[in-house]
Amino acid sequence: MSKLQNETEGMVCLFMGNEAIARGALEAGVNVAAAYPGTPSSEILENLARVAVERNLYVEWSANEKVALEVAAAASFAGLRALCSLKQNGVNVASDFLLHLAASGTRGGLVLVLCEDPGALSSVNEGDSRHFARMLELPLLEPGDFQEAKDLTAWAFQLSEELKTLVMVRSVTRLSHASGNVTLGKLALPSGQAEFRCDGFILDPLEGAVASAPVLYKHALQQEKIRKAKEIFEGSPFNTYHGPACPELLVITGSACSLYCREAIEILGLQDRVGLLKLTTTWPLPSDLIKKHLAQTEKVLVVEEVIPFLEENLKVLGAELAKEVGCKAFFGKRDGVLPSVGELNPDLVMTAIGKVLGDVACPGPSEYQRKAQSKALSLAPTREQTFCPGCPHRASFFSIYKAVELDGRRGFVCGDIGCYTMAMFPCGFGTLKTLHSMGSGLGLASGFGRLGQFGFRQPVLAVCGDSTFFHAAIPALINAVHHRADIVLIILDNSGTAMTGFQPHPGLGIDALGEPVPKIDIALVCRSIGARVESADPFDLDETTRKLSELIEDGEGPRVLILRQICALSPEKKGKKRYEMTVDESLCISEKCGCNRFCTRSFRCPGLFNDRMTGKAKIDEVVCAGCGVCISICPVSAIKGKEAA
């Protein structure tokens, strides 16, 4: 049984932040959860899906984030408790609905968990969605450790019901994907009776219509909720202060940064001089609590990641309070005391505290550290990101690159979001030339494909994955067909949302619980929209290149090529080799061949390397996945594959 369902109240478990969030939801008696996968948020829904049957939950991987939030909101309107979890840019996708939801209000507790990625460890952006809380006037909570991730999530449902509005809970990679001790609370009993009551007086919050209109009335109501949230936050036990009564420096922080700050103060031995105010209720700010602390200090350092959200809001508050508490000196990102991009860590916080206090000696690099850094630089070669051995994308981009080069008209490929994003790098032969949000590759291609009247002659290609196709590419394909854009869309179908851990999508015949569900056929969708559709196995390089070359030449509206091959890491494939690969050393003549070590220098699969002793290509048996694609790239057929038993 999943430890998420452990009934022993008070027991200590090691939980990943995302597991703690899921447990918090279960302790609050969540009924419905919906999400679209995205690192670092995916494990929340995965964990809830695992216990869905026993806890009587409805859990789904929705087609995209906006639909996920709509599905969760419907449950709230029907009186149930619901959770929606997204990564940072997912909030952008859901934001149009979120704007109206903030105004319409909610019924059953509705919690939006956003997991952000400072430093973009697994993202193509460093988005910060906290601004949505201020912009859309919604309460925002930011847990500072694993225990709070559980406890605040559970409390968020109660808060949402009290205020009748959605509550945002923000986590970050270093919390969602980090783990720590969590003391379990009481698990709620599976329950829930759904009914959408809508026959009452139109403005009745529990029995009327749920809508953002009448706009001014609802907007005023929303602001009243935010004022009420502020009053509740003033007394929240989750906001804590540690330090002297009148600190020389007050550090105000939240989220994972509170762990960095605590450790930085401890390492510097400044517990008697520096106070730490950890805020978990970051919008609206508990202004009375902050006023009390501002009155006791002259200097304030605000420590947070990505955008100076807290810093700017505290400065507004500081200006409003100046006549009562005096003028304070604020430090943070805006003055460069802390870096304005990338994630923070205890070292960066130590440096910042040192800069502000002036008399604190931050240990600079020792002689040892200088030596160690220089050895690491000279001896440890960088590891660029690359496609896994056996990855279908390496084969696909090999053919795409080749077809575009053979065409010779300076064609290019618009990229999209997924592992195949890495085709911007050498592992994908630098094939991708644009990269933005999900579905944008095809939207951009649709635009490029209509520039002919301005003398534009370059062939335009776009790629997207199977999950991305359902998420955001369909409207762009409709647009391209409707406007006869001259483009080729290549759908890299690896049978799952592979990058985030094989979550199912509408193209697969299973749901989040692994139950059979109707599947939507990508080829059929494209054909019904009016595109010409071909398909190929990307592992067959010649056939793929030939079909693609033909599609590039056929300049008649959008053409679609579906390249289908399951991800090498998928549970069906992982660890199973199709071929036992070898290199025939008598045939490989290495540098003398004239191929210029094509297999290792250009194809660059990690399963092949050049043996230092013999100078010949060799298979790394530990790394090779046995896909057999490299058999057809060697000009002298030295790479051999024997069908594995």
Partner 1 sequence: MREIGLRKDPYNLIIAGVGGQGNVLASKILAGMLVQEGLWVTVGESFGVSQRGGSVMSHLRISTRSFFSPQIPGGKADLVVTLEPVEAIRVLGRYGNQEVKVLTNTRPIYPAGVIAGQLSYPALEEIKDALEDLAAKVWYIEATRAALELGSPILSNVIMMGATAGLGELPLSREGFRRNIEEVITRDKVDLNMKAFDLGFSCFKGEV
- Point out which residues bind partner 1 (CB under 8 A): 3, 12-14, 39-40, 121-122, 145-146, 174-175, 177-181, 256, 259-260, 262-264, 267, 345-347, 350, 366, 368-369, 371-373, 375-377, 379-388, 419, 421-422, 426-427, 499-500, 575, 597, 600-602, 604-606, 608-610, 620-623
Q: Is 226 left (phi over 0), alpha (psi -120 to 50) or beta?
A: alpha
Which of residues 411 and 607 has its CB atom nearest to partner 1 in the complex? 607
Q: Is 323 left (phi over 0), alpha (psi -120 to 50) or beta?
A: alpha
DSSP-based helix, strand, coil % in the chain, nearest 5 = 40, 20, 45
Which of residues 511 and 585 has its CB atom nearest to partner 1 in the complex? 585
Which of residues 79 and 607 has its CB atom nearest to partner 1 in the complex? 607
Alpha carbon of 503 to those of 44, 464, 566: distances in Å? Answer: 12, 17, 13
What is the nearest approach in angstroms of partner 1 to the Cβ of residue 63?
22
What is the Cα–Cα distance from 215 to 203, expressed in whole angstroms? 11
Q: Long-range contacts made by residues 265-270, C-beta under 8 angstroms, separation at least 24?
A: 265/353, 267/346, 267/350, 268/350, 268/353, 268/354, 268/360, 268/362, 270/353, 270/357, 270/360
Which of residues 375 and 527 has its CB atom nearest to partner 1 in the complex? 375
**Residue recorded with tokens 């109240």:** 9
What is the nearest approach in angstroms of partner 1 to the Cβ of residue 463?
16
* Helix axes of 88-104 and 215-234: crossing angle, nearest 10 degrees: 110
CA-based nearest residue to 255, from 118, 88, 441? 118
Q: Evaluate whether 281 touches 231 at the Cβ level (below 8 Å).
A: no
Which of residues 181 and 458 has its CB atom nearest to partner 1 in the complex? 181
E-state strands within 95-230 = 110-116, 140-141, 167-172, 179-183
Alpha-helical (H) ranges within 530-584 are 541-553
Q: Residue 178's Cα: distance from chain center in Å? A: 15
What is the Cα–Cα distance from 19 to 27, expressed in whole angstroms? 12
Amino acid code (one letter) for 361: A
State the CB neighbour count (10 A cutoff) for residue 272: 11
Which of residues 137 and 466 has its CB atom nearest to partner 1 in the complex? 466
What is the Cα–Cα distance from 636 to 134, expressed in whole angstroms? 64
What is the nearest approach in angstroms of partner 1 to the Cβ of residue 538?
18
Which of residues 121 and 232 has its CB atom nearest to partner 1 in the complex? 121
Which of residues 368 and 454 has its CB atom nearest to partner 1 in the complex? 368
What is the nearest approach in angstroms of partner 1 to the Cβ of residue 522?
23
Which of residues 3 and 578 has its CB atom nearest to partner 1 in the complex? 3
Half-sphere exposure in the Cβ direction for 351 (13 Å, CA):
12
What is the nearest approach in angstroms of partner 1 to the Cβ of residue 393?
10
Which of residues 147 and 495 has its CB atom nearest to partner 1 in the complex? 147
Which of residues 99 and 124 has its CB atom nearest to partner 1 in the complex? 124
What is the nearest approach in angstroms of partner 1 to the Cβ of residue 587?
20
**Which backbone phi and psi does 579 adopt, to 5 degrees?**
-125, 145
* Helix axes of 474-482 and 440-448: crossing angle, nearest 10 degrees: 10
Which of residues 116 and 161 has its CB atom nearest to partner 1 in the complex? 116
Which of residues 308 and 606 has its CB atom nearest to partner 1 in the complex? 606
Alpha carbon of 362 to those of 21, 258, 267, 276, 346: distances in Å? Answer: 36, 19, 10, 19, 12
CA-based nearest residue to 541, from 598, 479, 593, 480? 598
Amino acid code (one letter) for 545: T
What is the nearest approach in angstroms of partner 1 to the Cβ of residue 144?
9
CB burial readout 216-243, b (16+ within 10 A) else e: eebeebbeebbebbbeebbebebbebbb
Alpha carbon of 351 to those of 117, 278, 301, 307, 344: distances in Å? Answer: 22, 19, 12, 19, 11
Which of residues 384 and 553 has its CB atom nearest to partner 1 in the complex? 384
State the CB neighbour count (10 A cutoff) for residue 292: 14
What is the nearest approach in angstroms of partner 1 to the Cβ of residue 271?
14
What is the nearest approach in angstroms of partner 1 to the Cβ of residue 259?
4
- Strands of the sheet containing 299-303, edge to edge, are 240-242, 274-278, 249-253, 299-303, 329-331
